[in-house]
Structure formats: structure tokens, C-alpha cells
């Protein structure tokens, strides 16, 4: 089902640190990269005063930001599915004191459940 849950957990934690920030400044920078920058570039292109390097740089940054955001959302839903699967299967109830590392807990539970399933077969 999930080939490498620990790798997914590591990537999810990295993306969560980038995409979900606690400070207003980081959120503003992210919003600027994803929305404001491309809109300004579009306006400058329509106005006729543009630089190809600026366009390519802005579009590249916007594309990378949106790709990270999409990957973060996909991984978030995958971890929700893993947690539901863990609860339905009655899998190992593991807890952590640090919510930042909860994806590792879910990954460990999924790995244990898959080992348990292989042992039963």
C-alpha cells in the first residue's frame, strides 16, 4: 500500500516547515511568491515593460512554490489516510510528546501493521 512511509514522513515534515509558517512574514513571502509576483509579472508583460530574466525567475519561483504546496497537501491527505487505516486496523497505539514528529509515529505504525500482515500470511 505505502512503499516507504518513513521517507514520506520526512518529506512531509520538510514541506510542513516550508508551507505552514507560524510568522506573518513567512506567510507574506510565500503569498508573494505564489500570487503577487506572477500577477506583477503579468501586468508588466501586458504593459510592455518586461525583462525575460525577471519573467523566467518569477515563473520558476511560482511554479516551485505551487509544486511544493501541492505535494504538501497530497502528503497531508496520505497521512490522514494512514492514521485512519491505523485506527481501523487496531494497529499499534503509539504516542509522541512532540506533534512535529507525529508523522514518524504514523509511519512506524504502518510499518508494524504491514509486518504483522506479512507474518499472518
Alpha-carbon distance of 16 to 79, in angstroms, equals 12
Question: Which has the higher per-residue pLDDT, 39 or 114?
Answer: 39
- Residue-wise pLDDT tens digits, 41-100: 999 988 888 788 989 999 999 999 999 999 999 999 999 999 898 888 776 677 778 888
Alpha-carbon distance of 84 to 78, in angstroms, equals 10
- Residue spans of the domains in the chain: they are 5-120
Q: Around Cβ 46, how many Cβ atoms within 10 Å?
A: 9
Alpha-carbon distance of 8 to 5, in angstroms, equals 5
Amino acid at each position: 500500500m505505502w512503499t516507504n512511509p518513513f521517507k514520506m514522513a520526512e518529506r512531509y515534515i520538510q514541506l510542513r516547515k516550508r508551507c505552514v509558517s507560524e510568522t506573518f512574514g513567512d506567510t507574506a513571502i510565500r503569498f508573494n511568491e505564489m500570487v503577487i509576483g506572477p500577477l506583477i509579472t503579468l501586468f508588466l508583460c501586458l504593459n510592455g515593460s518586461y525583462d525575460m530574466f525577471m519573467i523566467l525567475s518569477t515563473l520558476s519561483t511560482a511554479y516551485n512554490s505551487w509544486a511544493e504546496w501541492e505535494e504538501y497537501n497530497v502528503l497531508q491527505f496520505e497521512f490522514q489516510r494512514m492514521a485512519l487505516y491505523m485506527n481501523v486496523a487496531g494497529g499499534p497505539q503509539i504516542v509522541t510528546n512532540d506533534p512535529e514528529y507525529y508523522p514518524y509515529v504514523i509511519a512506524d505504525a504502518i510499518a508494524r501493521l504491514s509486518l504483522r500482515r506479512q507474518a499472518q500470511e
